[in-house]
Amino acid sequence: MISVIIPSYKDKYLNKTIQSLLDNTGGEIEVIVVIDGYPLRQPLPDDDRVKPIVLEDNVGMREAINIGVRESSGEYIMRSDEHCRFGNEYDTALTADIADNWIVTPLRYKLNVEQWKVEGTPIGYEKLYIQNWELGKKFGSRPWKLRNKERKNYPVDETMAMQGSCWLMSRKHWDAVIKELDPAYGTLYQDSVEMIFKTWQAGGKLMLNKTTWYAHKDRRFKRTHQYPHTKAKVTFEYALSLWEDYYREVIQPRWGV
């Protein structure tokens, strides 16, 4: 069974996301929705597979994921944002070819949430790099066009970065390597960076599964959270303090980037 964890904060597309997960599953799932300290606008879908956890106080995305994982029971753990749509039998596709020490992410499309419509061509391989932003430096990712072209015939293949809005891993990997998302990073951001580096250090891989897809809310639509850049700066700097040397000394030479 797969446990899908959705950290939720005031997003009006939550129920559509849950319904997409339920309608497109090819196997047994539970959808654990962590209501992060806010009143629901409408009841969640009436389905025994949907298991809400209602928090009195807002703890932020990272701890909401931790709480959801603690309350889950599946052999595999999957995370989804609350504004996503999924391909048919996404779950069985993601678990059909997986190792215990992998994190797997599907192809990612843009989602027009107002029309609930998938748009454009999917983003596949992504490259991890250190980018400049208005308040300093941070780990970021960008589409890796050359790798997409060179490795187009590989249905499941190693990649270097992911957005973090949808991933799947074995519970064994979470328990042994991830353990929990570290609160020292803050309440938001860099969760994918933390998990990828922990996985690499433990000898695991981040994998792209091109046999299935999801679509994530396009950036032109407004976010539900208001997270100030000053807080984000602390998170980005903390991630760099932990992983920048390892990235430059081990990861860049390994990938030749």
Per-residue pLDDT of 39-93, as tens digits, reads: 998 899 999 999 999 999 999 999 999 999 999 999 999 999 999 999 999 999 9
Question: Could you tell me the two tokens for 79?
Answer: 């995370």
Residue 133 belongs to some domain of the structure: no
Per-residue pLDDT at 178: 98
Rg (CA), the chain: 17
Residue 121 CB partners (closer than 8 Å, separation 6+): 109
Residue 169 belongs to some domain of the structure: yes
Q: Kindly state the greatest CA–CA separation across the chain.
A: 51
DSSP character at residue 179: -
Residue 163 belongs to some domain of the structure: yes
pLDDT digits (tens, 9 = 90+) for 159-216: 999 999 999 999 999 999 999 999 999 999 999 999 999 999 999 999 999 999 999 9
Residue 188 belongs to some domain of the structure: yes
Tokens 């504004």, located at residue: 83
Compute φ and ψ for 22, nearest 5 degrees.
Answer: -70, -40
DSSP for 79-103, please give it.
Answer: EE-SSEEE-TTHHHHHHHS--TTEE
Is the pLDDT at 242 greater than 90? The verdict is yes
Range of the domain at 85: 2-125+144-224
**What percentage of residues in the chain have a pLDDT greater than 70?**
100
Residue 40 CB partners (closer than 8 Å, separation 6+): none
Residue 136 belongs to some domain of the structure: no
For residues 194 and 205, what is the distance between their CA atoms, to the nearest angstrom? 13
Residue 158 belongs to some domain of the structure: yes
The DSSP element (H or E) to which 214 belongs, if any, is strand 205-217
State how many domains the chain has.
1
pTM across the whole model: 0.96
What phi-psi label fits residue 178: left (phi over 0), alpha (psi between -120 and 50 degrees) or beta?
alpha
CATH number of the domain at 149, please: 3.90.550.10
For residues 39 and 24, what is the distance between their CA atoms, to the nearest angstrom? 28
Instruction: Specify whether the CB–CB gap between 124 and 162 falls below 8 A.
Output: no
For residues 253 and 257, what is the distance between their CA atoms, to the nearest angstrom? 7
Residue 132 belongs to some domain of the structure: no
Is the pLDDT at 99 greater than 90? The verdict is yes
Residue 158 CB partners (closer than 8 Å, separation 6+): 205, 206, 207, 208
Distance of alpha carbon 250 from its chain centroid, rounded?
Answer: 24
Closest CA to 22 of 61, 52, 48: 48
Is the pLDDT at 106 greater than 80? The verdict is yes
Residue 189 belongs to some domain of the structure: yes
